[in-house]
Structure formats: structure tokens, C-alpha cells
Structure 1
Amino acid sequence: MVPMLKDPTLLKQNAFFVNGEWTPAKSGKTFEVRDPATTKLIGTSAECDVDDAQAAITAAEEALPSFRAKTGRERSKLLRKWYDLMMENADDLAALITWENGKPLADARGEVTYAANFFEWFSEEAPRAYGDTIPTSVPGNRVFTIREPVGVCGLITPWNFPAAMITRKIGPALAAGCTVVCKVPGETPYTSLAIAELSVRAGIPKGVVNFITTLDNTPRVGELLATSPSIKKLSFTGSTAVGKLLMKLASGTVKKLSFELGGNAPFIVFDDADIDVAIAGALASKFRSSGQTCVCANRLYVQEGIYDEFARRFAAEVEKFTIGNGFEDGITHGPLIHERAVSKVEEHVRDAQSKGAVCVVGGTRGDAGLAPGTFFMPTVLTGMSADMTLATEETFGPVAGLFKFATEAEVVRRANDAEVGLAGYVFSADAARIYRVAEALEVGMVGVNTGIISDTASPFGGVKESGFGREGSKYGIEEFQTIKTVTLGGMGKPLQS
């Protein structure tokens, strides 16, 4: 199925967005973008190289002085207009997400609203970049602080939320008075480029936002953003391995960084939990976007007293899922992004089975009558153990592995036995236990009796090798600001008569 856009001009092909203009790559090269549900060609996009990226950096540098000079209220109005345009074009943006990402249309519509809300939220934060007046130890001095934009920012975003991941970074950057160069995902460029087109209609000044598209040149463009002395802040969402590489590259210019990297979320269900609530939470957390989110439950720990009942009822619900093209009615889950993702999921399942796990639902590739290379059936595995790959690596697919545990201390120890720490989930009716376990988990975010934790107002980010920095919330704008201290001397003279 090919979507019919209400506004076909939102589909931008063969050009990237620099200095307010749509420009072909200097090389003239393009790359293909395919529908993961059918593997059919959607279109082509500009294959930018480092020269194109440098042009975007230069445009952002030139736009910075005038944009940072705008008042917070002026920047607020621009972001609010951009928000309004996203909501007015929500149907087309959702169609583009489903087309190039594969998630069901209902999920895509939810993402558009979530994405637009970051522009609305940070439009409200822009006028509120408060400083402080600080009492000093020197009687004649007065000290105050000013929050200033960090400068030109490089933003690198992933394909799993092609709208929300980019607005969650651009919103606070512009609210703070920064200009940006966005390297958008090669798998899903069209959603980001449609948002870029709406920036023109919103009146965002030329050069303030710039969007680079590339597939093959991704490593070189990423290296430029990390090493360029003109880029004062780098914000990256992606794998831990790439984050570590970018961190090394960025050390040469000592730029400000914020990284949201991989996860391996523990999902803990205690005997005293409301089992219906826990099952609903597990379904939402584990299988949202076919398991392709960084905060998906990856290890489901269920206490031994309810393990069998939970496994049976949970598997029965998973059997109700229907895979297929996200544009079709009744489809609950779409494809994975590409065949490589399916192969990784399959490897995790086969490894678990070879070590004693039992597959009670799914466990195989599915074709949904479309593209057999990109679908994997929603899967439930029981009898999981710590020596299985799924226990130590993020699956990023629709596979729920159920681990049995006996005590609170045991499950916390096992949950924390990971190099990463992005999100965790706790289901219990015991308030004291909830506090104990939530505080003991080595993660940046904890969901208690809910499987959905993403919210514009909530700070998003992790600890350990899941990265640092926070996106969204009142803290998000701070990642794009620096604090300047001003000390006034000679203020201690007596009042003149």
C-alpha cells in the first residue's frame, strides 16, 4: 500500500536542507529508501559527504549571532508555530513514519503527537532561562549568573523514532538560542525532512536548523560533527559502541556531550503485583514498535509464586498479535527495520533454545504475505537463564524472555548485572518494596506498575554505559546552555549623602 499524502510537497527527495534551502549533494549521489514491510522502493535521498556537512556547519555558525540575540519569547513563538504546523500535518507525518519505519499507523500517530509536544514544551521553557544571584564572601562584590546558549550543536538521531528523537533535541537547542546541524537516519530520512520543510513555514530563520542526509557516509559525517571545533555540543542517540567512538573523537575539542545509548531493561514482577496490570505493562513495554525501542523490557523477571500463571496468560495475549503492513486495519505489529535486525533476533532465540529455553509463542520469521526478510513473529521464551545472549545483550526485537527469581535481593542483583542502565520496571503492591527496589536499580528511569515511561515532562536518560545527560523535561534545556558567572567589584561603598 502506498500512502496518499494530503500535502505531497512534504515528501522531500534527493536534497538535504541547508541554510533554509533544499540542495542536492555536491557529488550528485543519492541512496535508496525502502519500505521495510514490502522492501519496495519509496524513493531516493541525497548522499551527503563531509563537504555538504561542512556547508551546514558554516550556515549554522553564521546564523548563530542573530538567533542567540533573539529574546526567549521570540524563540518561543517560533517553536510554538512549528508545533502547530506539525499537528496540522499530523496525518501526513504519521504516514511517512509508517511508510519508512514500518510501525503501525496508530503508533505512528502517537509518535507525531509525542514529537510535536517537545516543540510545545520547549516553547514554554524558552522564556524561562533563569540565572541566580549569589551571596559572596567578599563584602564589596556581587555575583550573578547568566545562562547562555552553548553554540552550534551537532545532533545525530536514530531511525526507530524518526520524528520524536529529532524534536526532543531540536526543541531545547532552539529554546536555548543554539543553532543546529542534524544528521538524520539514513533508513528513515523522509520524516525528518518533512519536519525541516515545516520549519520554513514556521518562519525559523535560515541556517538555524540544517538537516544532513546520508547512508554510506554516515561514519565520516559523524566524525566531522564530533571533531569540528565549530560544533560546541554533540547530542547522540544510538548504540553504546558508536557512542564510545564519538566520545573519543570529541575529546580533541572538549565539546559538551549528551549521549542516550543502549539499554537492557529489567522488568520485575513480584508475587504481590496485580497480574493483569503487570501483563498489560509487559505487553506495552516489550512489544511497542515490535521491540525496537531503547527502553523496551529486555529481561522479564517474574517471581516464582506467579511465574507459571504469568507465563501462560502473557503468552495467550501475545498470540493475539497480528503482524503485517502498518497501513492495514487490525495490524498490531509491523516489520523490523531490515533483515539484519531480524537475523539478530533469530540468533538470540536460537541461542536461548540451545541452552534450555522453551519457546511457547512465535520463535520464527513471518512473512505476513509481504516481505519475509523483515518480519519476526512476536515471541515468548520461558526457562531463561543468565548464560543466554538475551540476558546480556539488547535484542531490539519482539522477543520476551521470562526469567524466574525467588527473592528481592536476588532479582536486584541480577537486574544490575549489566554494563548499561537506561530503564527498569517494577510491579508490586508493596509501597516499601517499590521504594527499595526503585532506589536500588542502577538505571536512569524506573517505571512502577506501568510499562510506558516516556513523557515530554519526564527527564529521559540513563547511567553507566547507557550514557549521560537528560532529554525532555525542565532539565532538557540545560544540556544546551552554559553558565556564565559575573562578579561585580567595588559595590561595598557606603550610601552617599
Structure 2
Amino acid sequence: MWPAGCKPIPVIDPSTGRLLAEVPDASVEDAAAAVEAAARAAVAWRSTPPRRRSDILRRCFELMTERAEDLARLIALENGKALRDARGEVAYAADFFRWNAEEAVRIGGDFMLSPTGANHILVDYEPIGVCVLVTPWNFPAAMATRKIAPALAAGCTVVLKPASETPLTAYALAALCAEAGVLPGVVNVLTTAAPGPVTAAMLADPRVRKLSFTGSTQIGRVLLAEAAKHVVSCSMELGGNAPLIVFDDADLDLALEGAMLAKMRNGGEACTAANRLYVQSGLYDRFAAELTARMAALKVGPGTDPATECGPMINPAAVGKIERLVDDALSRGARLLCGGRRPDGPGYFYPPTVLDGVPADAAMAQDEIFGPVAALSRFETEDEAVALANATEYGLAAYVFTRDLARGLRVCRRIETGMVGLNRGLVSDPAAPFGGTKQSGLGREGGAQGVLEFLEAKYIATRL
């Protein structure tokens, strides 16, 4: 839905700082209208046969695949991410439509005799209702499809509130859904410069039964409190502070490739990014030297340049935060191996940076860097590595590199986190349950669990 008569929100190209476009700034009244549209469409959509919903979601996948290059360039423009990363995001985002097209026809139920023998237990799964989806700017396509696709597969209607920094991708996806056959009112998009009041107004509507949010833990806590007022079901994918552990026996090249992927995907602007790199002493010096060489060789530039390997950060505030974290680590004894200085010129750039010997009391050991900075620290024993990895309130992702499979699995189980990459720098997969523990969130997205987040179990007791 495009609210009429709204003042504009500017969309800025982070590579240049120039205006790209303007989108509507929705009001509380517009939010009410969006919920009304979703509620009106709910009966028809939940009554749509699962096979038909599946076919429509499959068509969404096909359209995204056909238009992958256009969508990637749009993401590179409004988000600034390197075009190669944007292409990867589009492929990943499209796969949520394909996966959930298959899940739509596999929503089952349960039937059993009560243990007492007095009756039968029938369990059915129904669409939970109107869903409010709140997505961040760092993966504007993938975070949207990861929520929209399972919601639609379950038979729910949605109101998507994308980040105001990257709204163009959300509008493009909504148009694509409509072209694929999604009924009018099933997918609604609201862009607003006042997300707090607008989201609160939607949660207060009794027809809204689900909030799915991806963003910071701080905002997640606020939204959880707001949802609690109205007993709205919540799925929360929140902040991360991912450790990456490299043991002495690791394959060095594999560990370096994994570290580069885990650290530099999307320029480090990812909740799953390796935030703390712990390397065992026997391999530390070689790892640090070769990682520094790889980081220093990355080409920094506009996201739309095919040669770019690290694009700009999303806005000036993001660059300022990275600078403060790096300065804090250096003041506490860390050593700069490469980067560390904001370049001159337009755009919101920060160079790939490696810090050696980052102490545990540095701010970046506790706060997400959300940028292209690799913070290296040395460890001696397995127990020490696990203790360092768990010394955080977050528990979203972690990475472990070792040739010893038994130790690898043992460490994976000991780390307090929702996801672990064992000898891999990438964990995201539409077929796998994505989510964290501790302050990193509630619920899971993706996999068979993803659709269940948008369903309610209804129990019927009956005698046959």
C-alpha cells in the first residue's frame, strides 16, 4: 500500500551522499489503513488452497530470479553493498520464496487417541492472523522475504515496515508479489520516519496477532514490551557478537577464507558477522599476517562498481561508531595492522581494518562493530576459547575451525549460541532454522520451523 498525501523520506546513496529517491512518510492513520487492508484480505488469502499459495510463491521466486540483476543493482544503490554481495543477497532472498512454496503444501496436523481412551485428540494448524514485519537496512531483500514468504505460506497477511534507509527494495518486492498473483491487501508496505508510534499503533490493533522483528536488541526489548501490552506473539532476531575460533590444527587457507567471508560479507554490516576473532597461539602470527594481507588488498568503492569488494557503510553515524570502537581498542593496547583511517572524499566509507591483540575489556569485544574491522586476540587452550566465546550477552552465531572433528563438535556444543559454522564462514540457509539464544532473540526463521512461527495450533477433543 502507498499512503497518499504523505511528506517524503529521502533515500540516500551511501556511496556518494546524494539523494536517490523519496518515499512516503506514513502516519499512524496510514498504519491503521494498512492493517485494515491486511484484515480485509485475510479471509480470502487463508481460504486460498495451499497448492495455489505454493504456486504463487514459486512464481515470486521465478520473478526474482529473472530480475536478479536489476534487484541487485537497486540494493547496491540504496544500501551501498558491493554488487557481488548484492547478487548473493538476491539469490538468497529468492530462495525463501522457493523453500516456503514447498512448505505451504506440507503444513500438517496431528490425530491420536487420548491416553485415557476417552476421546481423540485432533490438532489443526491455522494462520495466526495479521502480521507486522519490521526489517533492517543491511539485507533489505533477504530480511523481507525471510518473513513474507513463510507468512504467506501459512495463510497470513502482512504489513511490512522496512528501514527508511533502504525502502526501495521493499516496494520492488511488493510489486513483484502482486505480479506473481498475491491478492490485493495481502502484502502491504509502510515507510515511516516515526517507526515507534507507527509500530505501536499497529500492535494495538486487536487484529494484529504477530510481530516479527529483525534489528538491534535495544529496539527489540522496546517492541517486546509494547507487544506484551496486547499479548501479541513475537519472533525476534536481534543483535550478535559472533566469535570466530581458529585452533592450531586448522587448515590455514580454509580458516582464512572462512574468516574473510564471516567478517567481510556485506562489509561486516551483518548480525552474523565475526565480531571477535580468537586464534590459538601456534597459528596466530601466520593467521594475522595473511589475514592482514587479504584485508589490505580489498578494493573499496561504490557498491555499483563491479570491481568493488567493500562498499560504504550505511550512513555517517555508522562510520562514527566504527571510529570510536577502533580508537577505544587502540587506547587499550591493541595494535593497528592495516586500515583504521576514514578516507577523504564523498560517501560513508571505512577501510578494511585489522587490529592485533584486542583486549577483552575493549568496547568492540562487547558491542557489534557492524563494519569491516577484524579484532584479533590470542588464546592458549580449548577451555579458554570457549570461555571467551561465551563472555557476551549475545548468542546468535559462532564459527569454529579445526581439523579435529570431535573437538569441533564438542566446542560447537559448548558455545552458547543458536548457530555455529564448523569449518565454514557462512551459516545462513533458507532450509535451516536461523535464530539465536540469550539476548540475540526469540524464535527461528527458515527451515520447517519458519512457517510454524506464523501458525496457531488448535486442539479439538472429540469422540468418534
- How would you bin the TM-score normalised by the shorter chain? over 0.9
Q: Does 1:259 align with 2:239?
A: no
Structure 2 counterpart of 1:335, from 312, 324, 328: 312
In structure 1, which of residues 384, 397, 422 is the aligned counterpart of residue 396 of structure 2? 422
Q: SS of the residue aligned with 1:280? A: helix
Alignment deviations for residues 242-296 of structure 1 (CA, whole Å, 9 cap, x no partner): 0000000111111111000000000000011011110111111101111100000
Paired with 1:228 and 1:422, the residues of 2 have a C-alpha distance of 31
- The question of 1:143 aligning with 2:121 is answered yes
CA distance in 1, matches of 2:64, 2:286: 44
Contact between 1:326 and 1:334, CA under 8 Å: does it hold in 2? Answer: yes
SS in 1 for 2:124: strand
Question: Superposed, which structure 2 residues align to 1:372-391 within 5 Å?
Answer: 374-391=348-365
1:408 deviation in Å? Answer: 0.5
Counterpart secondary structure, 2:190 = strand
1:192 aligned partner:
170
- Once the two structures are TM-superposed, the CA of residue 185 in structure 1 deviates from its matched residue by 1.0
Which residue does the alignment assign to 1:356? 333
> Given residue 73 of structure 1, which amino acid in structure 2 is its aligned partner?
R
Amino acid at match of 1:459: P
Aligned partner of residue 322 in structure 1, secondary structure: coil
| TM-superposed deviation, 1:370 | 3.6
- Structure 2, unmatched stretches of 5+, are none
Aligned partner of 1:48 in structure 2 is 26
SS, match of residue 363 in structure 1: coil
DSSP-derived class of the 1:286 partner: helix
Alpha-carbon offset, residue 365 of structure 1: 0.6
SS of residue matched to 1:356:
coil
1:188-246 deviation line (CA, Å, top 9, x unaligned)? 0001101111122112111111000112x112112223333221000000000000000
CA–CA separation in structure 1 for the residues paired with 2:363 and 2:202: 33
Residue 79 of structure 2: aligned partner = 101
TM superposition shift of 1:187: 0.1
> Could you list the per-position Cα deviations for residues 357-378 of structure 1 after superposition, in whole angstroms to 9, with x for gaps in the alignment?
00001001124x542xx10010
SS state at 2:40 partner = helix
Residue 135 of structure 1 and its aligned partner are, at CA, apart by 2.6
CA distance in 2, matches of 1:253, 1:326: 42
Q: CA deviation at 1:88?
A: 1.6
Cα distance in 2 for residues equivalent to 1:455 and 1:435: 20
Q: Secondary structure in 2 aligned to 1:193?
A: helix
Check the 8 A contact 1:362/1:378 in 2, yes or no: yes
For residue 455 of structure 1, the aligned residue among 415, 421, 429 is 429
How many angstroms does 1:461 deviate by?
0.3
- Contact 1:225–1:234, Cα closer than 8 Å, also in 2: no
Unpaired runs of 5+ residues, structure 1, are 1-16, 492-497
What's 2:216 paired with?
Answer: 239
Name the SS of the counterpart of 2:177 in structure 1. Answer: helix
Q: Which amino acid aligns with 1:330?
A: A
Equivalent residues of 1:266, 1:301 under 8 A apart:
yes
Partner residue in 1 for 2:38:
60
- For 2:218 and 2:459, the matched residues in 1 are separated by 36
Which residue in the other structure is 2:225 paired with? 248
Aligned-partner SS, 1:244:
helix
- Residue 14 of structure 1 corresponds to none
Is the Cα–Cα contact under 8 Å of residues 36 and 100 in structure 1 kept in the other structure? yes
Task: State yes or no: 1:172 paired with 2:146.
Answer: no
2:354–2:376 CA contact under 8 A, matched in 1? yes
1:82 positional shift:
1.4
- Using the TM superposition, give the Cα deviation of residue 383 of structure 1 relative to its aligned residue in structure 2, in angstroms: 1.1
Q: Which residue identity lines up with residue 94 of structure 2 in the other structure?
A: A
Q: Distance in 1 between matches of 2:363 and 2:3?
A: 45
* Distance in structure 1 (CA, Å) of the matches to 2:391 and 2:281: 20
Deviations 1:424-445, CA, capped at 9 Å, x for gaps:
0000011111111000000000
Higher radius of gyration, 1 or 2: 1
Between the aligned partners of 2:274 and 2:3, the Cα distance in structure 1 is: 41
TM-score normalised by the chain length of structure 1: 0.92
Secondary structure, counterpart of 1:77 in structure 2: helix
Residue 475 of structure 1: SS of its match in structure 2?
helix
Provide the rounded CA distance (Å) in 1 between the counterparts of 2:203 and 2:271: 23
- Note the C-alpha offset of 1:74: 1.3
- Cα distance between partner residues in 2 of 1:355 and 1:306: 24
Question: 2:84, 2:306 within 8 Å by CA — same for their partners in 1?
Answer: no
Are 2:102 and 1:91 aligned?
no
Tell me which amino acid in the other structure corresponds to 2:435: G
Q: Say whether 1:279 aligns with 2:256.
A: yes
Greater alpha carbon shift after TM alignment, 201-210 vs 238-247: 201-210
Find the counterpart in structure 1 of residue 384 from structure 2. Answer: 410
Task: Say which of 180, 187, 193 aligns to 1:202.
Answer: 180
RMSD after superposition: 1.0
Say whether the 8 Å CA contact 1:226–1:246 is kept in structure 2: no
User: Residue 429 of structure 1: SS of its match in structure 2?
Assistant: coil
SS of 2:378 mapped into structure 1 = strand
Measured after TM superposition, the shift of residue 68 of structure 1 is: 0.7
Matching residue of 2:419: 445
1:36 partnered with 2:14 = yes
**Identity score, percent:** 49
- Structure 2: distance between partners of 1:191 and 1:445: 27
Instruction: Using the TM superposition, give the Cα deviation of residue 106 of structure 1 relative to its aligned residue in structure 2, in angstroms.
Output: 1.4
| Match of residue 268 from structure 2 | 291
**How far off its partner does 1:403 sit?**
0.7
Pairing of 1:459-470 with structure 2 (within 5 A): 459-470=433-444
- 1:9-37 Cα deviation digits (max 9, x unpaired): xxxxxxxx2xxxx442x4x3111111000
2:455 paired residue among 454, 472, 481 = 481
Q: What is aligned with 1:344?
A: 321
Tell me the equivalent position of 1:3. Answer: none
CA distance in 2, matches of 1:35, 1:122: 32
For residues 41 and 395 of structure 1, the distance between their equivalents in structure 2, rounded to whole angstroms, comes to: 26
